[in-house]
Amino acid sequence: MSVTCPQSHSGPNGQEAPTPARAAVKVLRVIARLNVGGPAIHVINLTRGLDATRFDSTLVTGTENPGEGSMLDLALEQGVRPVVIPEIVGQATLKPRDLKALIALYRLMRRERPQIVHTHAAKPGVLGRVAARLAGVPVVVHTFHGHILHGYHGPRMSWLLRRMERLLAHLSDRIIAVSEQVKQDLVRYRVAPPEKICVIPLGLELDPFLDSGVHRGTLRRELGVPSDAPLVGIVGRIFPIKNHRLFLEAAALVAAKEPGARFVVVGDGTLRTGMEALARQLGIGERTIFTGWRRDLPKVYADLDVLVVSSDNEGTPVSAIEAMASGCPVVATRVGGLPDLIEDGEVGHLVAPRDAEAMAGAILGLLGDGARARRMGQSARRRVQDRYRAERLCRDIEALYTELLAPRKDSRVTGSPRPLDLALKRLFDVALATAGLVGSAPLWGLAALAIKLEDGGPVFFRQERWGQYGRRMPVLKFRTMITNANPAGVTVQATKEDPRITRVGRVLRATAFDEIPQLLNIWKGEMSFVGPRVLPINERQGREEAGDIPDEKIPGFHERLQVRPGLTGIAQIYAPRDVPRRHKFRYDLFYIRRQSFLLDLRLILLSFWITFRGAWERREGKL
C-alpha cells in the first residue's frame, strides 16, 4: 500500500519548513442550562473530550431554575468555561426573553463564525438552530436527549411541539437520538425521515462507578441504615415527568412485605416537599430519606440493592447507566430509551409505567434472591462499561462532524435544497394555507350549494393519492364530474370536452377552486403549495404512446416521491395539458433539481395569475 507524505514548504536558506497546521474546526455547543442531569454531563464531556487539535469547542448555556442544582462546578473542574446567556431558559413556552436570547446567540455566532452549531434539548434546539441558519453557519446538528413530544404537556401543546420540531428538522443537517427508541419515536411523530436521524448513545466517565465497590458501607453508615437492611433508591430531579409518586407508592408496597426495607431519594426539585408529605401519608416517612443533591454518587450506588427509574418518559437516564456500571440492578418503567438499555430479566427488570404493584413485585423479586440480583448486577456492568464511555461518545461525534464537513456536491445539481429554503417553504405553506382556508370559507358554501342544485349529488370527491416517500394519503376535492364517473377502484383522467364534467365543475376547474380543500393537506404537512402534482393512485391517462402505463413504471416516478407533492408546480404551469405523463415527469424532475424558496414564490405568483384569468383548463398557453 502506498503512503502519500504531506507536502512541505521551503523556509529561509532553502530549509524545509513544516506545513502550516490546519485551523481547528470551531464548534459552538448550546444547551439551556447546566442543571444536574444527563444532558449537562453529556455536553461537558463533549466540550472537554473532542480532539483539541481538530475541534475548538465552546459551550453556551443559560441559567438553572431554582431547585435544579448546577453542574457548573463540574464544568470548571474539567476545564470548560461556558459562555452564559441568561436569557436562555428551558421552558417550552415562548416568551419575550426568548427573542433576546435569539439575538444574543445570533450575535455570538456572527462574531465567532463557527463551522458547526450543535444544540441539545428542546428550547436551545429552537433558538440555536434558527440563529445558526440566520448567521449562515454551514453545519447544524441537534441532539434529542429524550423528547417532550408526549408526556410533558397536554394534547394541544404536544401537537404544536411536534409540528414545530418537524419544521426545525429542516434547519438541521443531522439529528442525533440517544437511543434507538428515541429515534423510532421521532420517526413515528414524523419529525424527520429515518435516514436523517442517527443514534449515538450517551458517553460518561464510568471509572469511578466501575470501582465503586471500595465505597461499600459508607452511605449506610452516614444515613444510619443497617448493613443487612434492603436499601432501594432513586436518583434524579424531583419533577413531574420522573414520577416519584410511583416510586413511593411501590416503596410502600415493598415495606409491607419487607419491614426492614429502607428507601433513599437522591435529588431535589419543585415537588420535593410534596413527595416528603406523600411518604408520610403512605406510612414510610420514617423509612425514606431525602438527601438532596449529592456529587458522591459512586458511594450511593455502592450501597443500593436496587435502583428504581419510575419516569413516565425518558431518553437514556444517566442514573441507570451509573448504577449498572456500579453493579447495581435496575427496576425501571418500560418507556423511552430504557428498553434499549435494560434487557429485561438479564440486567434488571422493566415494568409497565404507572404500575406500582408491578414495580413493587420486581423490586421484591430482587431483594428476595440476592444471588440473582448479584448476577444481574455483574451482567449490567459488562453491558455498559464499553458502550457508554465518554471516549466512545467523543469519537462518534468527531466522525459525524467529519462526515458533515466533507465537501458536498452543489445542491442545485443534486436536488438537495438548503435547510433554510425548506424552513421558509414550510412557514410559507402554513401561513398561506391558513389564510386560504379562512379567506375561502364563504365560497365553500356557495360551491357546495351550486353542486347540490345541479344534480343533488355529493359535494366532495374523495381520492387516495401518492404522498411523499410513497405514503398514501386521502385528498378531498369539490366534485366536478357526474356521480359514479369512474369505474370502481380506477380513476380515469379527464380529457378535453369530457362529457363527465358538470357545468359547475367546468367553472370550478377553470379557476382551480375544486382543489381548495387540499389546503387542509398542505396545512397538515402532507402537501406543499409547490411541488410535483399529487397523483391519484391507480389513475389511467389513456394518452401514453405504449398504452395505459401505470405511473409506477414511468421513469422519474419514484424520484418525484422524495419531495412533498404540490398544489401547483412547473408541470402544471408550463407543460401542455395533454402531453404524456412521462413528459410532465421531466418538468417535475427539473423542479426537484432546482428547487428553492424563490422559485416557489415565482411559481405561486404565476399560479395566481392563471387562476385570475380562469385559464387552468386551457390545453395550451395558460400564461
Most confidently modeled of 1-10, 75-84, 536-545? Answer: 75-84
Lowest mean pLDDT among 194-208, 381-395, 516-530: 516-530
Q: Is 472 helix (H, G, I), strand (E, B) or coil?
A: strand
Distances (CA, A) of 278 to 166, 210, 260: 40, 34, 20
Q: What is the mean pLDDT of residues 289-304?
A: 96
For domain 20-202+397-401, give the CATH superfamily. Answer: Glycogen Phosphorylase B; (3.40.50.2000)
Q: Write the DSSP string, 203-256.
A: -B--HHHHTGGGGTTHHHHHHT--TTS-EEEEES---GGG-HHHHHHHHHHHHH
pLDDT of residue 34: 92
Grade residue 393 by pLDDT with cuts at 50, 70 and 90: very high
Q: Which helix (H) or strand (E) holds 529?
A: strand 528-530
Are the CB atoms for 259 and 230 separated by under 8 Å?
A: no
Amino acid 152: pLDDT: 63
Count of C-beta atoms within a 10 Å radius of residue 327: 22
CATH architecture classification, 207-384 = 3-Layer(aba) Sandwich (3.40)
Confidence (pLDDT) at 16 = 43
- Which residue would you say has higher pLDDT here, 5 or 329? 329
Q: Which tens digits make up the pLDDT trace of 150-184?
A: 756 678 877 888 888 999 999 999 999 999 989 99
**Average pLDDT of the segment spanning 543-561:** 70
CATH 3.40.50.2000 boundaries in the chain: 20-202+397-401, 207-384
Mean pLDDT is lowest, of 40-54, 401-415, 450-464, for 401-415
User: Is the pTM for the entire model greater than 0.75?
Assistant: no
Residues of the chain with pLDDT > 70: what percent? 88
pLDDT at 17 over 70: no
- Identify the pLDDT of residue 15: 44
Given pLDDT bands bounded at 50, 70 and 90, which one contains residue 31?
Answer: very high
pLDDT at residue 584, rounded to an integer: 83
Lowest mean pLDDT among 47-56, 356-365, 371-380, 512-521: 512-521
Q: What band does 545 get if pLDDT is binned at 50, 70 and 90?
A: very low
Whole-number pLDDT of residue 582: 78
The dihedral sign for the CA sequence 573, 576, 578, 582: negative
Helix axes 318-325 and 370-384, enclosed angle (nearest 10): 110
For residue 515, what pLDDT is reported? 87
* Rounded Cα gap, residues 547 and 581, in angstroms: 12
Which residues make Cβ contacts (< 8 Å) with residue 612, sequence separation at least 6? none
Max mean pLDDT among 2-6, 438-442, 576-580 falls in 438-442
Q: What percent of the chain has pLDDT over 90?
A: 55
Q: Among the listed ranges 86-95, 293-302, 474-483, which one has the minimum average pLDDT value? A: 86-95
Contact (Cβ atoms closer than 8 angstroms) between residue 316 and residue 161? no
Helix (H, G, I), strand (E, B) or coil at 570: helix
CB neighbours of 107 closer than 8 A, spacing ≥ 6? none
Q: What is the overall mean pLDDT for the chain?
A: 86
User: What is the three-state SS of 474-503?
Assistant: EEEEECCECCCCCCCCCEECCCCCCCCECH
Q: What is the mean pLDDT of residues 287-316?
A: 95
What pLDDT does 3 receive?
Answer: 32
| Model pLDDT for residues 126-153, shown as the tens digit of each residue | 999 999 988 888 899 999 998 777 756 6
pLDDT band for position 391 (cuts 50, 70, 90): very high
- Is 50 exceeded by the pLDDT of residue 315? yes
460-466 and 472-478 as β-strands: parallel, antiparallel, unpaired? antiparallel
Cell numbers standing for residue 338: 430504557
266 or 599, which is more confident: 266
